[in-house]
Copies of this chain bind each other. A is one copy, B any other.
Amino acid sequence: MKTQPLTPAEIEHALTHLSGWAWNCDALVKTLEFGDFREAMGFMLRAGFEADALDHHPEWTNVYNKVSIRLATHDAGNKVTAKDVELAGRMEKLRASLTGRA
């Protein structure tokens, strides 16, 4: 299945369901903040399983309790596709379940 870039309208629509995520420089981005390093690593481990299951991988940076995520699709010219929206949604669900914050 060839993955097509989403249109700006499709991305804007997807963002209405992704609290705190933004569309920036052709990627879906968010910086998550956790209680400490262990919580941040716990998130990355579990989100890593989701990414691997989707065979779609983030660019992400961790510094202590923060995880900055950038999602775009290499095979679609580094544009945002449905795969990025799917992974962002899974990460968001995971973040909510780990932090207890909606």
Binding site for B on A (CB under 8 A): 37-38, 41, 44-45, 48, 51-52, 57-64
Q: Is the CB of B52 within 8 A of A45?
A: no
For A62, the chain B residues whose CB sits under 8 A away are 58-61
Chain B nearest CB from A65 CB (Å) reads 9
The 8 closest A-B pairs by CB, nearest first: A61-B61, A41-B48, A59-B63, A57-B64, A37-B57, A60-B62, A45-B45, A37-B52
Q: Is the CB of B51 within 8 A of A57?
A: no
Cβ-closest chain B residue relative to A44: B44
A3 to B20, alpha carbons, bound, how many Å?
A: 37
Give the residue of B37, B45, B61, B63 whose beta carbon is less than 8 angstroms from that of A41: B45
